[in-house]
């Protein structure tokens, strides 16, 4: 694996995970950019970063002398920063979700293709060994058909306010559900077909997010039917009261012959409790560093060891298509067929 020089934009939570992974894998974190000087400087000190840009920084300077740009900032910056980096001949690794609209994705795709640079996206959760194990059991028919995969995510109003902004990360349906949609799609090995969802904004009266021009939907009940007739279902809310304590229920899959439940361990890994043939057993699974794995796979793509990164524009686009179908179903009150034509 070649050694790469990286510009990291965004030294927050995800930026910290990525920085650790670049470092462990032996690449050089050359430049860090963040609006927040303390964060950028703390990261620079930890990883011996040569150049730190904060406040009114200059992208042109930031991009010099690096060959990879890693984007860990709110969603409205994903498309413009990807395009800027690609136009300067840099490979791009970007946190999920990919972008706000198909139009933005199209511009990102055109820019990266024109510059012949790689684009990778941070769907690290899907690299957990539990996902592959569930997919294998599902394929072997351990659960039978059809299967129902149910997930839920119940949280208080997010302390990162941009996550509630309709014009930024656009609430959990865009920001968080993409992880679950990709998980279901991977386990069922099938494409989502029809979405039905109900939802709304239950945290409307909360002061801390009242300044946004448009609030994102914060709560939904979502059902997705796959071409295989399997079903993914979830309840999601980011509208709950401060210090809300009821934990989310573990992910579960059931079918006519059995089921399984995720037992969360650390850093997005899980073990699995299998219910089959009238008994149950705990399956301990390898616990990888998923951030290292995603970045290793991306670098292999950059180096030409693999044809494409594990997750890229295509998966980002598919997950946005699903999120937009969920929002359309909530808005219209009707089931919506997922639009895969990507009519920009
Ligand atoms: N893959 C995952 O599991 C996962 C989990 C959480 C968040 N995310 C995604 O990662 C992205 C970042 O989220 P986070 O949780 O790290 O947020 P965060 O608030 O912890 O960090 C974001 C950082 O970006 C900085 N920033 C904001 N705008 C900037 C700009 N224009 N230029 C430079 N710096 C800027 C902020 O000062 C902050 O330090 C989001 O797209 C989010 O959806 C992914």
Q: What is the pLDDT of residues 106-115, one digit of tens each?
A: 999 999 999 9
**How high is the pLDDT of residue 344?**
52
Substitution candidate for ligand 1 out of 41, 62, 63, 95 with most atoms within 8 A of CB: 95
Is the pLDDT at 343 greater than 80? The verdict is: no
Q: Is 10 in the pocket of ligand 1 (CB under 6 A)?
A: yes
Query: For a pLDDT cut of 70, what percent of the chain falls above it?
Result: 98
Confidence of residue 57 (pLDDT cuts 50, 70, 90): confident
Are 295 and 18 a contacting pair, CB within 8 Å? yes
- What span, in angstroms and rounded, lies between the C-alpha atoms of 140 and 146? 13
Domains observed in the chain: 5-124+291-310 (3.40.50.720), 126-287+320-337 (3.30.360.10)
Give the count of alpha carbons within 13 A of 146, CB side only.
Answer: 13
Q: Using the mean position of ligand 1's atoms as its centre, give its distance from the Cα of residue 80 in Å.
A: 15
Residue 89, φ and ψ in degrees, nearest 5: 80, 20
Tell me what pLDDT residue 93 has: 98
Q: Output b/e per residue, 283-303; b: 16+ Cβ within 10 A.
A: eebebebbbbebbbbbbbbbe
Closest residue CA from atom 21 of ligand 1: 12
- Ligand 1 centroid–CA 78 distance in Å is 10
Contact 244, 254 (CB under 8 A): no
Closest CA to 120 of 184, 74, 71, 65: 71
pLDDT for the residue 237: 97
Q: Is 13 in the pocket of ligand 1 (CB under 6 A)?
A: yes
| Closest residue CA from atom 40 of ligand 1 | 74
CB-CB contact of 94 with 119 (8 Å)? yes
pLDDT, tens digit, for every residue of 221-254?
Answer: 999 999 999 999 999 999 999 999 898 899 999 9
How do residues 113-139 score in pLDDT, each as one tens digit? 999 999 999 999 999 999 999 999 999
- Pocket of ligand 1 contains residue 18 by CB under 6 Å: no
Task: Work out the pLDDT band at 342, boundaries 50, 70, 90.
Answer: low
Please give the average per-residue pLDDT across 81-100, as a whole number.
98
Distances (CA, A) of 144 to 147, 188, 189, 210, 224: 7, 11, 14, 47, 18
Model confidence at 47: pLDDT above 80:
yes
Mean pLDDT of all residues belonging to the chain? 95
Q: What is the C-alpha to C-alpha distance for residues 162 and 224, in angstroms, rounded to an integer? A: 27
């Amino acid at each position: 694996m070649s050694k790469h020089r990286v510009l990291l934009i965004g030294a927050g939570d995800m930026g910290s995970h990525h920085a650790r992974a670049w470092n462990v894998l032996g690449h050089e974190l050359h430049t860090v950019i963040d609006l927040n000087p303390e964060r950028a400087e703390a990261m620079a000190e930890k990883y011996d970063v040569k150049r730190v840009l904060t406040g009114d920084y200059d992208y042109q300077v930031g991009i010099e002398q690096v060959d990879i740009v890693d984007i860990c900032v709110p969603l409205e910056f994903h498309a413009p920063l990807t395009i800027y980096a690609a136009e300067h001949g840099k490979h791009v690794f970007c946190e999920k979700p990919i972008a706000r609209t198909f139009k933005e994705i199209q511009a990102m795709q055109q820019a990266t293709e024109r510059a012949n640079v790689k684009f990778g996206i941070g769907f690290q959760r899907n690299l957990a060994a539990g996902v592959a194990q569930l997919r294998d059991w599902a394929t072997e028919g351990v659960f039978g058909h059809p299967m129902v995969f149910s997930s839920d995510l119940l949280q208080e109003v997010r302390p990162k306010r941009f996550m509630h902004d309709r014009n930024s990360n656009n609430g959990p349906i865009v920001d968080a559900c993409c992880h679950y949609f990709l998980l279901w799609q991977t386990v069922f090995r099938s494409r989502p077909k029809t979405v039905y969802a109900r939802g709304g904004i239950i945290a409307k009266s909360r002061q801390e997010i009242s300044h946004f021009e448009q609030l994102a939907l914060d709560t939904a009940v979502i059902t997705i039917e796959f071409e295989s007739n399997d079903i993914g279902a979830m309840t999601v809310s980011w509208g709950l009261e401060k210090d809300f304590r009821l934990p989310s229920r573990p992910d579960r899959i059931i079918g006519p012959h059995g089921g399984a439940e995720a037992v969360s361990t650390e850093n997005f890994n899980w073990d699995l409790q299998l219910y089959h043939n009238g008994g149950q057993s705990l399956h301990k699974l390898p616990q990888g560093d998923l951030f290292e794995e995603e970045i290793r796979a991306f670098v292999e793509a950059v180096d030409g060891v693999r044809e494409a990164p594990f997750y890229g524009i295509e998966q980002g686009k598919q997950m946005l298509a699903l999120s937009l179908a969920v929002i359309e179903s909530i808005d219209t009150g009707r089931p919506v067929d997922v639009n895969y034509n990507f009519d920009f």
